[in-house]
A and B are shown apart, each in its own frame.
Chain A
């Protein structure tokens, strides 16, 4: 009973938020539907301190916008200046000047591979964990422990995850996932990096999917049970299709995290700026078992503090990376907006 009232309330709030009731000076999100929203007290009666505070708000808000604009415009200018399309198809080469050292195609492809592998691990596991938490969740203590686990994984610094990865993937049992040389396991491979990256993306997928599942009202499930569907069938045929937008949102947030991470890639993947396929393995596996690089790793190494020190290439690669992030942001936004329109069951 209590559950349903809170559901109703949040549905109303969501509705109000949709109609833009929150920002325009109205206090409280619940009031978005009521007509006169212009009757807002002016600042002329405020004391000087209050007015200074509001001015500080404006200052910070505009400062944030300026910083974001500066980042985008600066990288855009540098990117247009230094990015040659040939760099996207030429692998890196040994060389002392920026002209000699080729492009960063391996890094670009590496980022794509990592994103694909990481998200294809994080998405099914994350959705499964979320389904268990929301739909099954018994015994209760285990559910509580699982929630804590997911929170803890979200809070682990990526460099610690990377160190943990070095221990796992240099063990002889997992030698088939990376290069092995006379019994010594190298431990750096796309498999190693992407599985740790998947762990980093997992909490985002779980959180978003849980949100989606929780937003589906109970009567939807009950209707399905009433016609004789099992819980598993209900989940597969009704619940998961319904919260597909939220799953997609979680996946894209996770993908953003994966392609933006550097620490794990520096430790578990990138010893080189080229692919280093393992000899003797069948086609896709030889590359995936070998070391490689990604855009973030390339930017890190090509920055003045890295080993390559080629700032122009670093700018070009950073520009490509930023474009990917911006594209992902836009896509997330789109899906999220659709999710709010389609995914509400409250009427």
Chain B
């Protein structure tokens, strides 16, 4: 950086002192993050220790397990930790995966449109709209989902025949995978759009002009050159959106349904109408039971799973980005 100049501004705001103070603050932030990670993992450890790898596996009814866990603190007969999280993990995979796939397609087309094809009046409308959709609080999305989308799906899309066909297993009321995926897509697509448009607009103009000069039309140029050059940023945006989707708790707690059921795609298309409950909403729903030590351990175990998978996605995203940026511009 710059040459050090000796301070003549009084000892109170001397450079060394300010640098030390700011440095201490920064170190405190790093320490806080480390403390967070350690706290979450240490508190969740008993749950992992008792279940081993079967924590991640299927087996039994998760809701019953959670009840037993939280009640075991009162009986005095020793804590119960048995917990098999697979239905919750599967629901997370289905909902977040679905939302990210739909969101990726939507965001790509919208970004290409915004950067290349939208007339000025359209992009003047669309840009604020995207920003607005990104800033609506998740609880409002949840409320609209519960009061508008869920009843619509329950009353109009699911037929009586379909309801009857699974009546013994689960009741279809509209709280469903479909509602959750639709709303989550609307929530995360704007995030991707803002990152993708930044990347697309920083692709070197010469590359696109070269393609155009060869007679390739604008549509193919932007997809074959622009989108391809922006691939690293597209990966980054998708990973960010995925992390946001996995951490989304309140909206999904309201919409996805409150039973820990694992919808099975092998049952046919009806699985998109089935309710489920991902990991993050499970924490929100069971948060009253934090006073019971085994329940606390279980919830922190879920939280550490969320933290860990989020970190893994970021790392994988960073690695892919590095591999791709050899060819990319953005």
CB within 8 Å of B: which residues of A? 13, 17, 20, 22-25, 27-31, 40-41, 43, 45-46, 50, 53-54, 56-58, 60-61, 64-65, 67-68, 71, 74-75, 125, 128-129, 131-133, 135-138, 142, 145-146, 149-153, 155-164, 166-168, 199, 221-222, 225, 228-233, 235-236, 256, 259-263, 266-267, 296, 299-300, 303-305, 311, 314-315, 318, 321-322, 325-326, 328-329, 333
Contact B40 A164, beta carbon cutoff 8 Å: yes
Closest B residue, CB atoms, query A125: B25
Closest B residue, CB atoms, query A63: B106
- Report the separation of the CA atoms of residues A57 and B112 in the bound assembly, to the nearest whole angstrom: 8
- Report the separation of the CA atoms of residues A322 and B284 in the bound assembly, to the nearest whole angstrom: 23
Given the known A-B contacts A262-B138, A296-B137, are A333 and B128 also in contact in the complex, defined by CB atoms under 8 Å? yes
Which residues of chain B in 1-60 are interfacial with respect to chain A, using CB atoms and an 8 Å cutoff? Answer: 1-3, 5, 7-9, 13-15, 17-19, 22-23, 25-27, 29-30, 32-33, 36, 39-40, 43
Which residues of chain B in 99-141 are interfacial with respect to chain A, using CB atoms and an 8 Å cutoff? Answer: 106, 109-110, 112-120, 122-123, 125-126, 128-133, 135-140
Contact B139 A296, beta carbon cutoff 8 Å: yes
**Residue of A64, A158, A167, A321 with most chain B CB atoms under a 10 A cut-off:** A64
Q: Which residues of A contact B109 (CB under 8 A)?
A: 53, 56-57, 60
Whether B192 sits at the interface, judged by CB under 8 Å, is: no
- Report the separation of the CA atoms of residues A328 and B131 in the bound assembly, to the nearest whole angstrom: 12
Contact A23 B118, beta carbon cutoff 8 Å: yes
Contact A67 B30, beta carbon cutoff 8 Å: no
Closest A residue, CB atoms, query B37: A152
Closest A residue, CB atoms, query B206: A28
Contact A163 B300, beta carbon cutoff 8 Å: yes
Contact B209 A60, beta carbon cutoff 8 Å: no
- The prevalent SS among residues of B at the interface is helix
Query: Which of B32, B148, B247 contacts A159, CB < 8 Å?
Result: B247
Q: Which residues of B contact A136 (CB under 8 A)?
A: 1, 19, 22-23
Query: Measured between C-beta atoms, what is the minimum distance from A156 to chain B in Å?
Result: 7
Given the known A-B contacts A28-B205, A155-B314, A305-B146, are A300 and B26 also in contact in the complex, defined by CB atoms under 8 Å? no
- In the complex, given contacts A54-B219, A260-B139, A303-B142, what are 10 additional A-B residue pairs having Cβ atoms less than 8 angstroms apart? A57-B112, A61-B122, A146-B30, A153-B33, A163-B283, A230-B13, A263-B250, A263-B280, A303-B147, A314-B143
Contact B131 A329, beta carbon cutoff 8 Å: yes
Contact B217 A50, beta carbon cutoff 8 Å: yes
Closest B residue, CB atoms, query A47: B217
Closest B residue, CB atoms, query A145: B30
Contact B139 A299, beta carbon cutoff 8 Å: yes
Given the known A-B contacts A57-B113, A129-B25, A155-B314, are A230 and B142 also in contact in the complex, defined by CB atoms under 8 Å? no
Q: Which residues of A contact B184 (CB under 8 A)?
A: none
Q: Which residues of B contact A164 (CB under 8 A)?
A: 36, 39-40
Contact B26 A231, beta carbon cutoff 8 Å: no
Q: Which residues of B contact A236 (CB under 8 A)?
A: 13
Whether B80 sits at the interface, judged by CB under 8 Å, is: no
Whether B330 sits at the interface, judged by CB under 8 Å, is: no
Contact A64 B130, beta carbon cutoff 8 Å: yes
Contact B116 A27, beta carbon cutoff 8 Å: yes
- Report the separation of the CA atoms of residues A160 and B119 in the bound assembly, to the nearest whole angstrom: 43
Query: Which of B9, B148, B217, B253 contacts A233, CB < 8 Å?
Result: B9
Contact B126 A61, beta carbon cutoff 8 Å: yes
Contact A318 B135, beta carbon cutoff 8 Å: no
Given the known A-B contacts A230-B9, A303-B254, are A46 and B217 also in contact in the complex, defined by CB atoms under 8 Å? yes
Q: Which residues of A contact B186 (CB under 8 A)?
A: 67
Contact A267 B258, beta carbon cutoff 8 Å: no
